[in-house]
Amino acid sequence: MRKSFRLKRNAAEAERVTPGNREHEVQTSKGWECEVQAYEIAQRGQKPGTSEAQHRYLRSLRSRQYRVAAARILIFVLFLAVWETAVRLGWIDGFIFSSPSRVARTFCAMWKDGSIFLHAGVTLVETLVSFGCVVLLGIGAAVLLWYNTELSEILEPYLVVLNSLPKSALAPLLIVWLGANMRTIIVAGMSVAIFGSILNLYTGFNEMDPDKIKLIYTLQGTKRDVLTKVILPGTVPLLISVMKVNIGLCLVGVVIGEFIGARQGLGYLIIYGSQVFT
């Protein structure tokens, strides 16, 4: 009796223990599988949670970026190499066209005496000030024209004419009117970009989705609400695109102004170098 009872009790205890052991073994095996998978992902350089297709796509994007950067550098290096080779072989006159090696030597000499920092700093300040004025005046004028349709109809022909004027011809007049100083250079930089900026922004304001504007008016909104909630947020990409163009135009205008009436700046250096052939 006692022996049979002991066997039954051991069998019951075995039944109670065995499922737990099996569950523990299953969890342990799953843990090992997860660790193996994580190790394999780390070996491939793949982030956890991304599929193999996503990994291949990201890898192709990175390789494309590397190819684009390498192609850009290669084109620049080839241009310098062809330029230097053409001068050394006599294909072009080095006295007129100079060469990359001569440019590098002159740049190092100006770096040592600090003159390059002075002239570049003056041009940079003038360009940034003119660019800031173009941004503020361009957006303000475009908003004013959008607010007042009658005013825009009156001024639009004049803006088109002013934008089509050759800006290099305005620089001597600005020197005569305002004098040879930094203010004149800043105004010359502004004159290159301001009129085109106003026209482009005003055109972008008028090309916004009319349905969104009607929705604002339907909800008892005002023209100010249309401006702040539809026009300005919707033209942010256009504004950024226009400003990217304007920063280059302002630099061109500043250099043109420095050609004529400056004693400092990169434009002055260009004119000085062309006169003494250095």
> What would the pLDDT profile of 215-258 be if each residue is shown by its tens digit?
888 888 888 889 888 898 888 999 999 999 999 999 999 998 88
**Same domain assignment for residues 205 and 176:** yes
Residue-wise pLDDT tens digits, 166-216:
877 788 888 888 888 888 899 999 999 999 999 999 999 988 888 888 888
Which pLDDT score is estimated for 33? 55
**Same domain assignment for residues 192 and 266:** yes
Fill in the amino acid letter for 189: G
Average pLDDT rounded to a whole number, residues 115-138:
93
Q: What count of other Cβ atoms lies within 10 Å of the Cβ of residue 120?
A: 14
Fill in the amino acid letter for 259: F
Residue 108 lies in a domain: no
State how far the alpha carbon of 71 is from the alpha carbons of 57, 60, 64, 76, in Å: 21, 16, 10, 9
Distance CA 120, CA 268 (A): 10
Which pLDDT score is estimated for 55? 79
**Whether the Cβ atoms of residue 170 and residue 191 lie closer than 8 Å to each other:** yes
Which pLDDT score is estimated for 31? 52
The token pair that represents 222 in the structure block: 């005002």
**Same domain assignment for residues 150 and 74:** no
**Same domain assignment for residues 123 and 217:** yes
Parent domain of 71: 58-102
The token pair that represents 277 in the structure block: 């052939």
**Same domain assignment for residues 129 and 37:** no
The token pair that represents 105 in the structure block: 């030597």
**Whether the Cβ atoms of residue 50 and residue 41 lie closer than 8 Å to each other:** no
Residue 109 lies in a domain: no
Which CATH number covers residue 233?
1.10.3720.10
**Same domain assignment for residues 26 and 62:** no
pTM of the predicted model over 0.75: no
Please give the tally of structural domains in the chain: 3
